Chains A and B, each alone.
Chain A
Amino acid sequence: MNLGIHLDTTVNQTIIEEIKEPDIIHAIEAKDLNVFYGDFLAVREVDLVIQAQKITALIGPSGCGKSTVLRSFNRMNDLIPTARTTGEVLFHGKNIYKEGVDPVEVRKRIGMVFQKPNPFPKSIYENIAWGVHINGFKGSKSDMDNLIEQTLRSAALWDEVKDKLHDSGLSLSGGQQQRLCIARTIAIRPDIILMDEPCSALDPISTLKIEELMRDLSEEYTIIIVTHNMQQAARVSEFTAFFSLTENRAGVLMEYGLTIQLFTNPKNKITEDYITGRFG
């Protein structure tokens, strides 16, 4: 426990150093974030500042609360009846957990890609058009066609699907389905894209394609990715947050900083043990 508190201060120092640099913009910030499932404290006192237009990886052993933290960034935990959140998540300086904030409006600005590809049982075209429509799209049919082509190109999927836009999204391979899910997310132009282990159900080649896509997208979008795969975190992310468990199974943020530093020169013994494969 003492260890955790001690570490938090070092983490904060790292963050403060980053903030001092003028060209860095905050995308989203968790302040003293606690998430409960019923009486169980799943995530404890997380303070985390995510940089805009960068890829930040959340890593850590199973059950350390990294997905919970990710899902609290767009109020996805609201869908779990027993979940309760305290503390603040600041998005453009506004606490998204403040009373009167509509989670639907939050999610329009902070999109999400899930562990298992989950295209809607609609055509490839409709999979993208649906999200655009519910977000108040007013353009013509040809505007929509253009938007869909553009989006599919950004998601590196256009060449593979341009001749079968009206086939079911479920007819695609797993990797293609996941890129379709990324496409439908970027079609609504969110500020931030949350990715919850987006490659864990995919083969290595599809995984590399998605990672490449993420790097392309990070020029425009802030991406936060939860991953089990440390090589993946090292390959794609610029910042890494390492979560671990306290003895009463609550997830805490152990160490946060530039990925290269965290992997080559971890400040913390537990981080080092984890990234060198001694536990987790």
Chain B
Amino acid sequence: MYEAKNAQFPATSTDEADYMDLRSQPRIHESIIKGFLIFSGVISILTTVGIVVFLGQEALRFFTDPQVSLVEFFTGTVWQPQIYKFGILPLLSATVMSSLIAMGLAIPIGLSVAIYLSEYASQRIRSIIKPSLEILAGIPTVVLGFFALTFMTPLLRSILGNDVVQIYNVFSAGVVMGILILPLISSMTEDALHAVPNTLREGAYGLGATKLEVSTQVVLPAAISGIAAAIILGISRAIGEAMIVAIAAGAGPNFTINPFEAAETMTGHIVRISGGDISYDSLDYNSLFAIALMLFLFTLTLNILSQRIIRRFREVYE
């Protein structure tokens, strides 16, 4: 096919009129592929818009119901749809608490792993640690949920006592969520550290800096926006994570700041209620969309924030 076309080429070039025919040619392959690519792009936009509209509509139905007060929704400390108590604080507090625990574990360990891999580890050690982190990132969350319930919780109970730690508790779920987020934070942070130009490290070494001084006082601050973006994405992942908390954190809203008690997060609540028998278009049903909308707004804000930070970070070194 290709050769045949080539063979025609000298023939056309000898004929001046043909050779100078510069009109645009129909290129069917190009058009089809271009059309497909546009279609794919449009689908992703439409999906997002569709979800937002749908969420907004259903949530609006909830918020306009006479039984619901917006003030109570944001300030109430009881979430009991059966008696028309819709205060989101118990769900929110569990979400915030589990995310804080997860980040409290994932940020320091994730950063340490990243600094080690980027600045200290030899090629050989990197080739062992990086794949194991990738495997960790690939574990299904349902498995991690059971890991929290059947390993982390018994461990905690044996250390702190059965009367302190409940069978379902936010702490185990938070810790395991931290394990889930760890690879995300460490690999994004490592990318950010890697993007710091080597000339900067040499400059610091040239002043008689030690490896620790170079890593923590020059490279880390230079990569700070990339690291901040990694942390924000990690938080957003923790807030949106459902399976681990649904399995291990508890099944019932509980307004508490004790992480060893059972409490239900926003995502956990949605999983449990939508899995049960719930009548369509009831207030109960609509309330799920109100929670989902809150979640969506949270993670959207965080993602936009991280995008902004990443963009700033690129401007510095490219």
Least Cβ distance of B120 to chain A in Å?
A: 12
The residue of chain A having its C-beta at the shortest distance from the C-beta of B122 within the complex is A81
Q: Are A130 and B217 in contact (CB under 8 A)?
A: yes
Question: Which of B202, B203, B206 counts the most chain A CB atoms within 10 A?
Answer: B206
Least Cβ distance of A144 to chain B in Å?
A: 16
**Known contacts A120-B222, A121-B222, A121-B316, A107 near B208 by CB under 8 Å:** yes
Q: Does B199 contact A (CB under 8 A)?
A: yes
Question: Which one of A108-116, A145-153, A213-221, A232-240 is at the interface?
Answer: A108-116
Q: Are B197 and A134 in contact (CB under 8 A)?
A: no
Q: Are A111 and B205 in contact (CB under 8 A)?
A: no
Q: Are B207 and A107 in contact (CB under 8 A)?
A: yes
Q: Are A116 and B208 in contact (CB under 8 A)?
A: no
Interface size on A, residues (CB 8 A): 28
In the assembled complex, the Cα of A74 lies from the Cα of B202 at a distance in Å of 12
Q: Are A131 and B208 in contact (CB under 8 A)?
A: yes
What A residues does B203 contact at CB under 8 A? Answer: 114, 118-120, 181
What B residues does A109 contact at CB under 8 A? Answer: 208
Q: Does B271 contact A (CB under 8 A)?
A: no
Give the contacting residue for B199; candidates A116, A135, A185; CB below 8 A: A116
Q: Does A27 contact B (CB under 8 A)?
A: no
In the assembled complex, the Cα of A134 lies from the Cα of B210 at a distance in Å of 9
Q: Are B205 and A76 in contact (CB under 8 A)?
A: yes
Q: Are A134 and B213 in contact (CB under 8 A)?
A: yes
Cβ-Cβ contact count across A and B, 8 Å cutoff:
69
Least Cβ distance of B218 to chain A in Å?
A: 6
Q: Are B316 and A170 in contact (CB under 8 A)?
A: yes
Give the contacting residue for A79; candidates B197, B205, B213; CB below 8 A: B205
**Known contacts A104-B210, A170-B316, A120 near B200 by CB under 8 Å:** yes
Q: Does B221 contact A (CB under 8 A)?
A: yes
Q: Does A224 contact B (CB under 8 A)?
A: no
What A residues does B200 contact at CB under 8 A? Answer: 118, 120-121
In the assembled complex, the Cα of A114 lies from the Cα of B204 at a distance in Å of 11
Give the contacting residue for B206; candidates A105, A121, A185; CB below 8 A: A185
Q: Are A118 and B197 in contact (CB under 8 A)?
A: yes
Q: Does B156 contact A (CB under 8 A)?
A: no
**Known contacts A118-B200, A120-B222, A121-B221, A107 near B206 by CB under 8 Å:** yes
In the assembled complex, the Cα of A116 lies from the Cα of B206 at a distance in Å of 14
Q: Are A188 and B208 in contact (CB under 8 A)?
A: yes
Give the contacting residue for A108; candidates B197, B201, B208, B217; CB below 8 A: B208
Q: Does B209 contact A (CB under 8 A)?
A: yes
Interface size on B, residues (CB 8 A): 19
In the assembled complex, the Cα of A68 lies from the Cα of B199 at a distance in Å of 16
What secondary structure prevails in chain B residues at the interface with A? helix
What B residues does A130 contact at CB under 8 A? Answer: 207, 217-218
In the assembled complex, the Cα of A240 lies from the Cα of B200 at a distance in Å of 29
Least Cβ distance of A187 to chain B in Å?
A: 9
In the assembled complex, the Cα of A172 lies from the Cα of B204 at a distance in Å of 19
Give the contacting residue for A114; candidates B199, B208, B209; CB below 8 A: B199
In the assembled complex, the Cα of A105 lies from the Cα of B218 at a distance in Å of 19
The residue of chain A having its C-beta at the shortest distance from the C-beta of B214 within the complex is A134
Least Cβ distance of A84 to chain B in Å?
A: 16
What A residues does B204 contact at CB under 8 A? Answer: 120
What B residues does A113 contact at CB under 8 A? Answer: 206
Least Cβ distance of B44 to chain A in Å?
A: 35
In the assembled complex, the Cα of A4 lies from the Cα of B165 at a distance in Å of 80
What A residues does B207 contact at CB under 8 A? Answer: 107-108, 111, 130-131, 134-135, 184-185, 188
What B residues does A108 contact at CB under 8 A? Answer: 207-208
**Known contacts A120-B218, A121-B316, A111 near B199 by CB under 8 Å:** no
Least Cβ distance of B34 to chain A in Å?
A: 41
In the assembled complex, the Cα of A262 lies from the Cα of B111 at a distance in Å of 54
A residues 92-114 touching B (CB-CB < 8 Å)? 104-105, 107-109, 111-114
What A residues does B221 contact at CB under 8 A? Answer: 120-122
Give the contacting residue for B209; candidates A76, A121, A134; CB below 8 A: A134
In the assembled complex, the Cα of A84 lies from the Cα of B274 at a distance in Å of 65
Q: Are A135 and B208 in contact (CB under 8 A)?
A: yes
What A residues does B201 contact at CB under 8 A? Answer: 79
In the assembled complex, the Cα of A115 lies from the Cα of B197 at a distance in Å of 13
What A residues does B202 contact at CB under 8 A? Answer: 76, 79, 112, 114, 118
In the assembled complex, the Cα of A210 lies from the Cα of B135 at a distance in Å of 53
Contact with A along B273-312 (1 / 0, CB 8 A): 0000000000000000000000000000000000000000
Q: Are B206 and A74 in contact (CB under 8 A)?
A: yes
In the assembled complex, the Cα of A116 lies from the Cα of B199 at a distance in Å of 8
The residue of chain B having its C-beta at the shortest distance from the C-beta of A187 within the complex is B207
What A residues does B197 contact at CB under 8 A? Answer: 118
| CB-defined A-B contacts under 8 Å, sample of 27 | A76-B205, A76-B206, A104-B208, A104-B209, A107-B208, A109-B208, A113-B206, A115-B199, A116-B199, A118-B199, A118-B200, A120-B200, A120-B204, A120-B218, A120-B222, A121-B222, A121-B316, A130-B207, A131-B207, A131-B209, A134-B209, A134-B210, A135-B207, A181-B203, A184-B207, A185-B206, A185-B207
The 7 closest A-B pairs by CB, nearest first: A108-B208, A112-B206, A131-B207, A118-B203, A118-B199, A107-B208, A121-B222
**Other contacts beyond A119-B203, A130-B217: 6, CB < 8 A:** A104-B210, A107-B205, A108-B208, A114-B199, A134-B217, A188-B208
